Chains A and B, each alone.
Chain A
Amino acid sequence: MRNSPNTSDYLLANAAHDGVALVEAGVSYTYGQLRSAAGRLAAWLAELDLPPGSRVGLLGPNSLFWVAAYLAVMKLGHVAVPFSGKLTPDDVRRNAGLVTCAAVFADRRVLPRFAVAFEDDIGDIAVLTDEALRPGREPYWPGAIPAAPGADAVLMFTSGTTSRPKAVRVTHGNIQANTDSIITFLGLRGDDRVLVILPFFYCYGASLLHTHLRCGGRVVLCDSLVFPEAALDLLEREECTVLAGVPSSFQLLLRASTFAQRALPSLRLIQQAGGKLPPVLIAELVAAKPAAKLFVMYGQTEATARLSYLPPDKLSAKPGSIGNGIPGVRLRVLNGRGEQVAPGERGEIYATGANISPGYYEDPQGCAAKFTRHGLRTGDLATVDDDGDIFILDRRDDFIKSWGHRISSHEVEAAALRMEQLVCAAVIGVPDDEAGEAVTLFATARQAPW
């Protein structure tokens, strides 16, 4: 294994100094301004004199500050630890403790709520806020220092349902391998402008940041999809070319917004990942924006972000498929004996590639279950067709056993969503004396009366 460039240098290598990097709340920041913002935060961080590889938390909404802090942490050879803003202060305290954070960059908009998480009996965690962005301090940006292979760049907490959160180690090499691959298969360019509605503490959101910075493109920040019309106004105003969302984003856009009615002529590429979007909604999405290429993708935090994609020209022939491995990733569907399944047979997806994490942070037991000799054990059950394209059936743990049948919660959710009156649907198995588990559906109805 050879050394990788430092990921912060890698991400900023291709951008023009005066090209716009970020748009936040109506203000555009150039790559030059992003570099000096990161340099200023690096200067403050360097003053703490932390040993190399120290974990430094990031807390706050997507912003210039968040991105600058992320770049500063990695540049100095430390490890960025993004925290979800949806956690409680107790959760943040526990997660910061799990990876022994030495410092944290916290946005002043959320700090009052979380300050208590960084006060410790043993010693407080150093807190740096966006006040550190103020001009006056000389930016510090040392020359290119290569990162050792396997050196951690980021620890990403998984949003898994297990009680103990897991911090996924993401190395400099992982990020760069996945970023290069995504740029290639999506055909991303320097003139692309992505509307980001996903948080950067989530691997999919982070991958949008990585890929568009690496291309020298523009990242348009839109805090969330809570107000779909405001997001669509922004997409129109900034003439975004790329839109990326998870299934619930598209459920909202298609069933509770004016997305389909708006022309949105700038939009050339739509990315969908983060779970299975029911085929009926994929069809609605294609019908709503026929000029935009739709990429259905599949990924996991343990794989940095992306693992597979379905080329847009296969969408109509293979509805419901996640396609096959992205460049540099090999996906195999294996049976219980570790053998590749024949077309039509059921197995579990395993992945190998340079984007696969070396494991969870200080959790050998968790690692052993997930990082196996066959590669990353995804936990997703699937079949393959004659062309080798993969169809996910469900999470291994998401099958409901009812009246002796194994029922895919995905399949019931997809069926329910064929009713246009619903925006989203979730199915679980509720313990039941007779059925074993009773199939139970939760649904959100569309707002307008029908």
Chain B
Amino acid sequence: MTEFIAANYLFGDTASVPREDESLVERGIIDSTGILELIQFIESRFEVEVSESETVPENLGSISNLAKFIMSKQKPAPATTKWP
């Protein structure tokens, strides 16, 4: 995630990557087009689907929120036992 942010929004300047809990918007890292790139990256890299209603700061606003969100999406669905 950090690598993507440095490469895609900061021209590779890893020193400027925000702290994990810092707001990516307040730090001026992502704007309204940047968020779409971020979503595309998450969807292809982590093989999850992000719905429109999930594009909120609680999920995508900071590196730590992103990590939590992606991990929760990747969690396998609770196993259901099917009897024949």
Q: Which A positions have Cβ atoms within 8 angstroms of B?
A: 61, 85-86, 109-110, 113, 223-230, 248-249, 252, 256-258, 423-424, 444-445, 447-449
Residues on the A chain within 8 Å of B28, using CB: 85-86, 113
Residues of A within 8 A of B26 (CB): 61, 109-110, 223
Q: What 0/1 readout, one digit per residue, does chain B (39-51) give for beta carbons within 8 Å of chain A?
A: 1100100000111
Whether B6 sits at the interface, judged by CB under 8 Å, is no
What separation, in Å, do the CA atoms of A239 and B40 have in the docked complex? 32
CB of A365, distance to nearest CB on chain B (Å): 32
Q: Do A248 and B25 contact each other (CB < 8 Å), given the known contacts A227-B55, A229-B53?
A: no
B residues sitting closer than 8 Å to A (CB atoms) are: 25-28, 30-37, 39-40, 43, 49-57, 60-61
Contact pick for B36, options A229, A256, A258, CB 8 Å: A256
How far does the alpha carbon of A163 sit from the alpha carbon of B14 in the complex, in Å? Answer: 28
Are the C-beta atoms of A226 and B35 separated by less than 8 Å?
yes
- Please indicate the chain B residues that have their CB under 8 angstroms from the CB of A224 in the complex: 25, 31-32
Which of chain A's residues have a CB closer than 8 A to the CB of B49? Answer: 448-449
CB of B44, distance to nearest CB on chain A (Å): 10
Nearest CB of A to B52, in Å:
5
Other than A113-B27, A226-B34, give 18 A-B pairs with Cβ distance below 8 A. A86-B31, A110-B26, A223-B25, A224-B31, A226-B30, A226-B35, A227-B56, A227-B60, A227-B61, A229-B53, A229-B56, A230-B57, A248-B32, A257-B55, A258-B52, A258-B53, A424-B33, A447-B43
Cβ-defined partner of B33 (8 Å) among A228, A230, A248: A248
B60 / chain A contacts, CB cutoff of 8 Å: 227
- Bound complex: CA A236 to CA B40 (Å): 28
**B56:A447 contact, CB within 8 angstroms:** no
Complex: how many Å from CA A261 to CA B14? 40
CB-defined A-B contacts under 8 Å, sample of 17: A85-B28, A86-B28, A86-B31, A223-B25, A224-B32, A227-B35, A227-B56, A227-B57, A228-B32, A229-B52, A252-B32, A256-B36, A424-B33, A444-B33, A447-B50, A448-B49, A448-B51
Indicate the member of A227, A248, A256 with the most B CB atoms within 10 Å. Answer: A227
Contacts of B36 in A (CB 8 A): 256, 423, 444, 447
Minimum distance in angstroms from B70 CB to a CB of chain A: 15
Could you tell me the distance between the alpha carbons of A447 and B53 in the complex, rounded to whole angstroms?
A: 12
Min distance, Cβ A44 to any Cβ of chain B, angstroms: 25
How near does chain A come to B68, taking the closest CB pair, in angstroms?
Answer: 16
Name the residue on A nearest B59 (C-beta). A227
A226 touching B32 in the complex, CB below 8 Å, given contacts A61-B26, A109-B26: yes
Question: What CA separation (Å) do A61 and B26 show in the bound complex?
Answer: 8
| Distance, CA A61 to CA B28, complexed state (A) | 11
Interchain CB contact under 8 A, B31 and A447: no
Q: Nearest residue in B to A424 (C-beta to C-beta)?
A: B33
- Pairwise interchain contact A447-B40, C-beta atoms closer than 8 A: yes
Among B33, B40, B50: residue with most chain A CB under 10 A: B33
Least Cβ distance of A202 to chain B in Å?
13
In the complex, how many angstroms separate the beta carbon of A263 from the nearest chain B beta carbon?
15
Contact partners of A230 in chain B: CB under 8 A: 56-57
CB <8 Å contact, B32 and A229: no
Instruction: Give the CA-CA distance A424 to B57 in the complex, in Å.
Output: 22
How far is it, in angstroms, between the C-alpha of A257 and the C-alpha of B37 when the chains are bound?
Answer: 15
Closest to B16 in A: A113
A-B residue pairs, 10 tightest by C-beta = A225-B32, A447-B39, A226-B25, A226-B35, A226-B32, A230-B56, A229-B56, A258-B52, A227-B57, A227-B56
Give the distance in Å from the alpha carbon of A393 to the alpha carbon of B63 in the complex.
43
Evaluate contact between B52 and A256: CB separation under 8 angstroms: yes
- Look across to chain A and name the residue whose beta carbon is closest to the beta carbon of B51: A448
Q: Which residue from chain B places its CB closest to the CB of A197 in the assembled complex?
A: B32
Chain A residues with CB under 8 Å of B39's CB are 447
- A3 and B52 CA atoms in complex are apart in Å by 52
Closest A residue to B40 using CB positions: A447
Chain B residues with CB under 8 Å of A445's CB are 40
In angstroms, how far is the closest chain B Cβ from the Cβ of A294? 21
Kindly state the separation between the CA atoms of A110 and B61 in the bound complex, as whole angstroms: 17
Q: Which residues of B contact A249 (CB under 8 A)?
A: 32
Query: Closest Cβ of chain A: how far from B18's Cβ, in Å?
Result: 11
